[in-house]
């Protein structure tokens, strides 16, 4: 298994572990903001957007593996991206779009990537 860490663990970091067919991604955050103080995307906003998308599928967050339909999630985010009223909001949606394209399944606070 290979491991790769992006970011500063004391602030915000992403740990990616891979083997033959699967990769798991864990997000660690010791700060209220993602990244440093110049970042604008709050962690609570990120979590709320993810939770909202999971809730739309009538799932709970307790110890279950969720299979989200990537095309539906993609459409949901793209629709928001096209209707964004500001550059700042479009960047938030773009970040979520990238995240959801990489992580179609969730388990608690750990993102689980499944091969397609």
Which whole number is the average pLDDT over 30-46? Answer: 49
Q: Which pLDDT tens digit goes with each residue over 64-76?
A: 334 444 455 455 5
Mean pLDDT of 54-80: 51
- What would the DSSP string read from start to end of 2-26? EEEEEEETTTEEEEEEE-SS-EEEE
Give percent helix, percent strand, percent coil of the chain, each to the nearest 5. 35, 25, 40
In the numeric block, which tokens belong to residue 64?
Answer: 């279950």
Above 50 in pLDDT, residue 107? no
pLDDT at 17: 74
Q: Which two tokens stand for residue 88?
A: 């700042």
- 3-class DSSP state for residue 37? coil
Enumerate the domain spans of the chain. Answer: 2-113
Look at the block and give the residue holding tokens 């991206």.
81
CA quadruple 57, 59, 64, 67: dihedral, nearest 10: -10
Give which of 52, 46, 53 is closest to 69, Cα–Cα: 53
Residue 104 clears pLDDT 50, i.e. is over it: no
CA distance 79 to 104: 18
Average pLDDT, the chain: 56
């Amino acid at each position: 298994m290979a491991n790769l860490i992006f970011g500063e663990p004391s602030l915000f970091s992403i740990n990616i572990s891979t083997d033959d067919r699967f990769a798991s991604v864990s997000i660690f955050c010791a700060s209220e903001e993602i990244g440093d103080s110049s970042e604008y995307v709050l962690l609570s906003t990120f979590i709320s957007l993810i939770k909202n998308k999971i809730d739309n599928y009538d799932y709970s967050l307790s110890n279950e593996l969720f299979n989200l339909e990537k095309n539906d999630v993609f459409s949901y985010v793209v629709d928001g991206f096209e209707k964004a009223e500001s550059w700042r909001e479009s960047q938030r949606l773009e970040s979520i779009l990238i995240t959801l394209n990489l992580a179609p399944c969730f388990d608690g606070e750990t993102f689980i990537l499944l091969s397609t």
